[in-house]
Amino acid sequence: MAFMFFFNSVQAQQKVLQTDFNKGIWEQVDKGLKRKWVSGTESTFAFWKMDKDAHVAPHNHPNEQVTYITKGSVKVLMNGKEYIVKAGGVLVIPAGITHEFFCLEDGTEDLDFFTPVRKDWVEGSASYLSKEGKELEIVAQFNDTRPGNVAVSHNGRVFATMHPLSDPKQQLVEIINGKAKPFPSPEFQKNGQQPNDNQFDTPLGVITDKENRLWMIDMGLGLGKTRLWCFDLKKNKVAEKIELPADIAPKGSFIQDVAIDEKNGWVYLADIANPGIIALNLKTKKARRFSGHPALQTEDVDMIIDGKVIDFGGKPSRVGVNPITLSDDRETLFFGSMNGTAWYEIPARLFRENKDDNTIGNSIKKFGEKPVSDGVATDKQGNHYITNLGGHGISKLDKNGKLTGLIKDPKLQWPDNIAVTDDGYLYISVNQLHTTTAFSGQPDAGKPPYFIYRVKL
């Protein structure tokens, strides 16, 4: 069902919001209870699905609530009375009244309208939005700029790019005792200077490999060319710098995610500007681009965060292929679009064998579902950990293709990227990216500090 909300034309925040609740995935709030929701300037609208015996604990809020049950039935306790609301029934719950919901039938659907806006939902303070999973441990805190992506070496060294949307002075840092230090040295950081071949420009994707090397993709948004940097972590020096050919990565490309196959000597990169996968042979330095396939494109799915449809470039976000990763044996490439709910797989050998686009395209298979996301990491057991932008969390897609929630915490305001370590930690870069001008069209509304967290799996 599609809903459009119109706002008073004399208000300073005049805006028309339109989204389609038939698309996208559900936010799992509790066992047997999931929702989708949007807010305007004066009201909040929610669509709930419930399983039998799902329960919303006693709570109250300063909002008048109108509940309309379209399927199934619920029992509501309020003011010491019991109300049974069946399909077609409407219940008006006054502001400030404590109430409790019990679902009586599988497949129950509930439409709720609240006025004013549910600020407790936006702030993540509602009683039934409590955190799920383990406590987040702060690895680093940034007070003046946003972290981009995070990578962790096998001996526990932590590295991060600084997000280009923050116009940072430093582009690549190592986190030492909670502090960001320029890596490999200050001389490589642009620090407000004009782009040049000898310094970083606009890097984002960063990852370590099994040979104790750090790889970083520099999108070159200022320089006009894309470069892949490799660092020897034993010597803390640049081991290699590869410039991608202009016909493969032309000016204007936005190549922001990277996966390394150190076993066979290949690199796989995702470009969201012209949705495609770039495969680079590290031995020959030859690259090819795979584009045009529907799996690489954005789905027509809104990114909804805190009840708001998130824009990108002045219109509702529609971002194609972005998170990309490899299986531990480096034989399967996985990917999906940011604005997408499908996670795909393809045998990596097809790129190594230089198969044609039709062969590659016909071999792509859907592996499972995923949330609207910006980052992913895959462990040795074949589990995929995927950022859940709208759910302020991390989802887990297991080796059998089953998607579950792993972590849910209001502090995860745009979990951008994650890294999983051999000792069972998950590192998460959090940067409130949806508050930047590129996404909101308004002055940056980010509220420092920004963080890199970790949790023990």
> What pLDDT score was predicted for residue 31?
86
Is 50 exceeded by the pLDDT of residue 7?
no
User: Per-domain residue ranges for the chain?
Assistant: 2-129, 137-456
Q: Which of 324, 204, 184, 198 is nearest to 267 (CA)?
A: 324
Residues in CB range of 167: below 8 A, 6 or more apart: none
229 in Cβ contact with 272 (< 8 Å)? no
Per residue in 19-49, pLDDT (tens digit) is 888 887 788 888 899 999 999 889 999 999 9
Per residue in 312-338, pLDDT (tens digit) is 988 999 999 999 999 999 999 999 999
Per residue in 373-431, pLDDT (tens digit) is 999 999 999 999 999 999 999 999 999 999 998 998 999 999 999 999 999 999 999 99
CATH architecture for residues 2-129: Sandwich (2.60)
> What pLDDT score was predicted for residue 14?
57
How many helices (DSSP H) and strands (DSSP E) are in the chain?
4, 40
Mean pLDDT of the 133-141 span: 90
C-beta atoms surrounding 178 within 10 Å: 11
- When the pLDDT of each residue in the chain is averaged and rounded to a whole number, the result is 93
16-20, 116-120, 159-163, 236-240: the lowest-pLDDT one = 16-20
- Cα angle 156, 160, 163; round to 5: 165
Per residue in 46-92, pLDDT (tens digit) is 999 999 999 999 999 999 999 999 999 999 999 999 999 999 999 99
Per residue in 145-188, pLDDT (tens digit) is 999 999 999 999 999 999 998 889 999 999 999 999 999 999 99
> What pLDDT score was predicted for residue 69?
97
Sign of the C-alpha dihedral, residues 77, 80, 84, 90? negative
Q: How far is CA 374 from CA 102, 195, 319, 395, 429, in A?
A: 35, 26, 10, 12, 11
69 in Cβ contact with 107 (< 8 Å)? no
Quick one: tokens of 114? 């609240």
> What pLDDT score was predicted for residue 271?
97
> What pLDDT score was predicted for residue 129?
62
Q: Which of 143, 144, 135, 140 is nearest to 160 (CA)?
A: 140
174 in Cβ contact with 188 (< 8 Å)? no
Whether the pTM exceeds 0.85: the reply is: yes
39-43, 199-203, 228-232, 363-367: the lowest-pLDDT one = 39-43
Tell me which of 193 and 453 has the higher pLDDT: 453
Quick one: tokens of 238? 């640049």
Q: Is 258 exposed, middle or buried (0-12, 13-18, 19+ CB in 10 A)?
A: buried
Q: Which of 104, 65, 113, 101 is nearest to 86 (CA)?
A: 104
Q: Which residues pair with 428 in a beta bridge?
A: 418, 453
Mean pLDDT of the 216-222 span: 96
> What pLDDT score was predicted for residue 95?
96
> CA 25 to CA 428: how far, in whole Å?
22
Quick one: tokens of 3? 């809903």
Confidence category of residue 440, pLDDT binned at 50, 70, 90: confident
> What pLDDT score was predicted for residue 128?
66
Is 50 exceeded by the pLDDT of residue 3?
no
> What pLDDT score was predicted for residue 329?
98
> What pLDDT score was predicted for residue 124?
78
Quick one: tokens of 383? 């589990």
CATH architecture for residues 137-456: 6 Propeller (2.120)
